[in-house]
Structure 1
Amino acid sequence: MKLFPKVFFGLVFIFCTSISAQLSEEQWAKIDSLFLQWNKPNHPGGAIAIMQGNDLVFSKAYGLASMEYLVPNTIGTRFNVASVSKQFSALGIVKLHLAGKLSIDETVDNYIDGLAPFGSEITIRHILHHTSGLRSLHALFGLAGWRGDDARTNADLDRIIAKQSELNFEPGSEYMYCNTGYMFLANIIEEVTGISFVDYMKEEVFIPLGMNDTYVEPDYDGIVPNNATSYNQTSDGFVRSVEYWGYVGSGNMHTTTDDLLKYLKNYYDPLPGWKAAFDTMQTLDPLNDGSFNKYAFGVNVDKLFGKKRVSHGGSIGGFRANVAVFPNEKTSIAIITNFSSSGAGRKSNQITEILFEETTSNKDLKVAKVSKKKMDSYTGMYWDDETYSQRMLTTGGDTLYIGRNPFLPVQDDEFVAVQSGNDTRIQFENGTMTIYPESGKPMVFSKFEEEELTKALAQEYVGTYFSPEIETAYSIHYEEGEFYAHHIRHGKIPLKQKKKDLLEGKHPVSYIKFKRENGKTKGIWISNGRVRNLWFSKTE
């Protein structure tokens, strides 16, 4: 029995196939070497495929589809591609738009009943670009008491979203990734066509594009042959990872690398009748203030090594996926995997370097001379009250770091990202730091130091707080120096004070901000990333 894994993995290498038409032997070997670790005994893996023009130049599978039964991945294995699914939901909407059956500039209240008045402010275009301001379902569900291993469906979203009275921000003013919006697209497609989203995608998108091994899975516990099992990697090895997210529109499409390449090819060589749809998919619109937003219709449109790229990643359970197409170079890359630490996006970039013989060398910058005193003055913690974001700045020589990301000075108070492909810029003025990202609106941070929590102030925070929007309550306690929030399903959530009336916790209660009237606390706003300022009233 101990010899079996060695024999088995010999069979894996025989079973996996590969095709090389345009790659040099060196390029092929370099790409293959990126994934050889996945072929270790008792290791999950994935499938990788590359197309250039009409030629499949690399196609190979690695590792196990099932660790329990020692079944290998093959180039025909299906994987859940998670948020890579979004572009297909967007394509379904685009088809209806081009056919005149709906307009992407219509507001969502035309198709979805029961929304608060903000439904008349959000257009389908906002949803496609992730600029709707809608609160994202996972963040909402977490606050409402859902845990990671609780099932969630489109019906759960419909029920909870009907109680939402506010948005995270004004539609069109900001980019914030939002699964809620893409689940709405499934509702809209069903309302317009009168058929299920699952059937519409099969008949109107997958089959016409030749994607015969692709389907949408509305049941997280459904059984379909030739699907990989997903795993999370831990310090002790791998554990089974169940995809409890049983919803459609924003995820849960299952497919193969072959089908993905058939689809991606349409970005540079569309099938008859599909050119207008794939041109529309790449539509970019600025935010309300004119800031650039690189998110188009279910895809990111940016540049890598100066080359236009259309791409997207995905993550659900232990599945990780990434697709990228370089239309001008007629090159597509599809990576689909069944373990959480696979690094699919990073691997895609590494493949791109090999294909185009590029390097991630730093930019050729004209670095300004900044005194050590000035550099040191920039270090510390910065906070953005609007987005509940913080950044820690450190320095090393002439380099400023935000986390691990390096920036070099081009002026005394202006820094730019060092790494090629990153156009982020930072500017300092009067104690504030403004970050100008390559995509999205500028973010303004103020320097601050955390304030110690006093016993008297802690007692003012103590109480129970209820939200009618998610029908749940949190209680804040201060006992024997222990300060925490409590929820019946999440238990104790440790809290610390960042500054007066602003507390920091852990997911799902990342930040708590207090509202006072006549000096007394009347309620709190809780934020956790993709939910901002959800109101909880203090109960007596």
Structure 2
Amino acid sequence: MASPFTTAFDKLVDESFKKWHIPGASFAVVHGAETWTKGYGLAQQDPPKAVESNTLFYGASTTKAQLCAAWALYMSSEANQAKPKSEQVTWTTPLADIIRDDFVLSDPVRTLQVTLEDAVSHRTGLPRHEASYGYEGVKTPKEVTRNLRNLYLHNELRTTFEYCNTPFVAASHALETLTGKPLVDYLRETLWSPLGMNDTYGGYGDASAAVEKEGAILAKGTVWSKLPTSVDEADGHLAEEEYMDLSEVSGAGYVISCANDYAKWMRCWLDPSSGPLDDAMIKELWTPRSIVQPNEVYNELFEGLSAYSLGWFVSTYKGHMLYWHTGGLIGGGSYVLLCPDIQFGVTFFANVQDASFKLKGLAIEILDAALGIPEATRTERTLVDQEAVNLYTKIVAKAAGAREKLFPSELEMQKVPLALPLKAYAGTFVNIGYGPLNLTVAQEEDIDVLKCALPGTWRNDLLLQHVNAEHWIVSRSSASNPWRALLRAESKVGSDGKPQAWGVAMEPAMPDILTWFERTT
């Protein structure tokens, strides 16, 4: 295969950048013994700094495969193998056996049943609960793990693929407990240093030290202020996002790296002789554990159903097995795809929201070239781009119809006013699992509402608008992110005539379950 970064490909990148308002991206491709990397566009706007192949980007959830690889290396380590057989850690070891005091779920039976492989294959039964961490008191992997006892379970154990970050955080904390080392140190010792990944870091704190001392460039995340399917999409603007620390999510998504280093990371999977993972480890790590439901976005493009192994999605494409993973955060995204049949891998990083969907078609274009598909007959890139548009169309349609689904009889309701003036409902309310809800009175499109900036990792704003009696509709979004979710809420007035509590459907996967926040002020 010749260099994938042809004039024709550069043109496709330019078209994608214009279509999706992408400031910059970097790519790495490995095929056989060859490696190519290239940067496009800007890593930062002011002052302008071009993307190079060593420009740092957030790897986000592509971290998960690195956590699982580190666990595989620990299991084969002398420290683990020297233990009596009954005490050695394996993928089927219950997490509670490793971190008994910290790993406790709301169901005591489930607590004892969840194994390490359950935690890192999205089959624990926990939903995302993304607003439940990152605030004061739940800002370390240990604290995030200990908070799981305060969160609802959703599905039965090992019955349903349900993407969830927090069990990976618990697995990270368990590895730190066993090794006595911060995860970043163990990853650097067992993976990054042996592979020569010298520009890879764990969290913003680790990366910022390199930025300050060595002059490394960390790409600045951005969000386009309008959804791609909006009629006024062209009137949007590019908003820069603050750097995210992400140390609290640890092995679920905190790695910061570059195209050069991820080329080395991909190669160690395609050619085990080049790195610390052997054939047996790779086979185990790539063995599917969960079947991804047919309606999941992860199945799009690929043949049949996809599965999830240990930190990797597993799919079939044109008769070839693929192992891949997306990564996403506020203002950025990443993607890694491996095709061992042809000793091929492609990765990209970009500094725009939802980049893993917006640029996936370019990764597929490079894969098709490696598979020898003539350029004139390559249609999948266009299909992938359309799938991204379809995804946004579904989001907009879901949001547009959410109010009617949440309150189907609103037009026929007997209108009952609030028991108290709106300002009386402001104040601080706390839930043990989700932390504080600090409500203030605000105006949104000339309507008085209650507003709350959630203090967690994902920086969401809640806008609560009265519907009827003590029932409310909640719009959840971040300040510059056009994504919105509509939820329902209830207020509860006590016998003393004061607001006593708020119930908010904080977990979108469980829209009928209210999380109750009790008043503190």
TM-score, scaled to structure 1: 0.65
Structural mapping, 1:321-470, within 5 Å: 321-340=334-353, 342=355, 343-356=358-371, 357=373, 358-360=378-380, 450-452=408-410, 454-456=413-415, 467-470=431-434
1:277 CA drift (Å): 1.4
Of residues 204, 229, 233, the one that matches 2:219 is: 229
Q: In 2, distance between residues paired with 1:362 and 1:63?
A: 22
Structural mapping, 1:227-376, within 5 Å: 227-234=217-224, 235-247=236-248, 248-271=250-273, 274-286=278-290, 294-340=307-353, 342=355, 343-356=358-371, 357=373, 358-360=378-380
| Structure 2 counterpart of 1:253, one-letter code | V
| Structure 2 counterpart of 1:359, one-letter code | T
Structure in which a larger fraction of residues adopt strand? 1
Q: Give aligned pairs, total.
A: 426
Of residues 193, 197, 201, the one that matches 1:207 is: 193
Aligned partners of 1:476 and 1:483 also within 8 Å: no
| Structure 1 counterpart of 2:6, one-letter code | W
The change in CA–CA distance for 1:238 and 1:257 in structure 2 (over 3 A counts) is: same
- Deviates further, 249-258 or 234-243: 234-243
1:484 CA drift (Å): 6.0
Aligned partners of 1:133 and 1:176 also within 8 Å: yes
Aligned partners of 2:415 and 2:469 also within 8 Å: no
| Structure 1 counterpart of 2:172, one-letter code | A
The change in CA–CA distance for 1:319 and 1:360 in structure 2 (over 3 A counts) is: closer
For the pair 1:105 / 2:107, whether they are aligned, the reply is: no
Q: In 2, distance between residues paired with 1:404 and 1:162?
A: 34
Q: In 1, distance between residues paired with 2:491 and 2:156?
A: 21
Q: CA-to-partner distance for each residue in 1:475-524, whole Å, 9 max, x for gaps?
A: 899xxx97966658688724577x999965222784337799xxxx9984
Q: Which has the larger radius of gyration?
A: 1
Name the SS of the counterpart of 1:34 in structure 2: helix
Q: CA-to-partner distance for each residue in 1:366-415, whole Å, 9 max, x for gaps?
A: xxxxxxxxxxxxxxxxxxxxxxxxxxxxxxxxxxx99858xxxxxxxxxx
Residue in 2 aligned with 1:179? 165
Name the SS of the counterpart of 2:315 in structure 1: strand
The change in CA–CA distance for 1:61 and 1:523 in structure 2 (over 3 A counts) is: closer
Residue in 1 aligned with 2:516? 536
Q: In 2, distance between residues paired with 1:276 and 1:240?
A: 41
For the pair 1:193 / 2:179, whether they are aligned, the reply is: yes
1:98 CA drift (Å): 4.0
For the pair 1:92 / 2:62, whether they are aligned, the reply is: no
Q: In 2, distance between residues paired with 1:107 and 1:201?
A: 22
Aligned partners of 1:84 and 1:313 also within 8 Å: yes
Residue in 1 aligned with 2:55? 77
Name the SS of the counterpart of 1:132 in structure 2: coil
| Structure 1 counterpart of 2:123, one-letter code | T
Q: CA-to-partner distance for each residue in 1:165-193, whole Å, 9 max, x for gaps?
A: 53232222222221211111211111111
Measured on the aligned residues, the alpha-carbon RMSD in Å equals 4.5
Aligned partners of 2:491 and 2:501 also within 8 Å: yes
Q: In 1, distance between residues paired with 2:221 and 2:286?
A: 33
Name the SS of the counterpart of 2:195 in structure 1: coil
Q: In 2, distance between residues paired with 1:472 and 1:451?
A: 32
| Structure 2 counterpart of 1:511, one-letter code | L
Runs of 5+ consecutive residues of structure 1 not aligned to the other structure: 1-21, 364-400, 406-446
1:361 CA drift (Å): 9.9
Name the SS of the counterpart of 2:64 in structure 1: helix
For the pair 1:134 / 2:126, whether they are aligned, the reply is: yes
Q: In 2, distance between residues paired with 1:239 and 1:85?
A: 23
| Structure 2 counterpart of 1:278, one-letter code | I
Residue in 2 aligned with 1:435? none
TM-score, scaled to structure 2: 0.68
Q: In 2, distance between residues paired with 1:82 and 1:121?
A: 28
Residue in 1 aligned with 2:152? 166
Name the SS of the counterpart of 2:152 in structure 1: coil
Structure in which a larger fraction of residues adopt helix? 2
Name the SS of the counterpart of 1:219 in structure 2: helix
Name the SS of the counterpart of 1:297 in structure 2: coil
Of residues 488, 505, 510, the one that matches 1:526 is: 505
Aligned partners of 2:144 and 2:170 also within 8 Å: no
Q: CA-to-partner distance for each residue in 1:298-354, whole Å, 9 max, x for gaps?
A: 111112333211111112343321111111121111112233365232321233344
For the pair 1:493 / 2:451, whether they are aligned, the reply is: no
Residue in 2 aligned with 1:33? 11
Aligned partners of 1:163 and 1:470 also within 8 Å: no
Aligned partners of 1:78 and 1:255 also within 8 Å: yes
Q: In 2, distance between residues paired with 1:402 and 1:227?
A: 32
Identity %: 17
Aligned partners of 1:353 and 1:359 also within 8 Å: no
The change in CA–CA distance for 1:303 and 1:457 in structure 2 (over 3 A counts) is: farther
The change in CA–CA distance for 1:223 and 1:65 in structure 2 (over 3 A counts) is: farther
Aligned partners of 1:130 and 1:175 also within 8 Å: yes
Aligned partners of 2:200 and 2:261 also within 8 Å: yes
Residue in 1 aligned with 2:84? none
Residue in 2 aligned with 1:62? 40
Q: In 2, distance between residues paired with 1:448 and 1:486?
A: 20
The change in CA–CA distance for 1:239 and 1:472 in structure 2 (over 3 A counts) is: closer
1:531 CA drift (Å): 6.5
Runs of 5+ consecutive residues of structure 2 not aligned to the other structure: 82-87, 225-235, 296-304, 384-389, 395-404, 455-459, 478-484, 493-499
Q: CA-to-partner distance for each residue in 1:241-291, whole Å, 9 max, x for gaps?
A: 422433321122122223222222233321276111111111112469999
The change in CA–CA distance for 1:97 and 1:290 in structure 2 (over 3 A counts) is: farther
Q: In 2, distance between residues paired with 1:81 and 1:475?
A: 34
Of residues 511, 517, 526, the one that matches 2:487 is: 511
Name the SS of the counterpart of 2:6 in structure 1: helix
Residue in 1 aligned with 2:298? none
Residue in 1 aligned with 2:399? none
Aligned partners of 1:513 and 1:525 also within 8 Å: yes
The change in CA–CA distance for 1:52 and 1:69 in structure 2 (over 3 A counts) is: same
Q: In 1, distance between residues paired with 2:292 and 2:13?
A: 43
Q: In 1, distance between residues paired with 2:369 and 2:7?
A: 10
Bigger relative CO (Cα 8 Å, ≥ 6 apart): 2
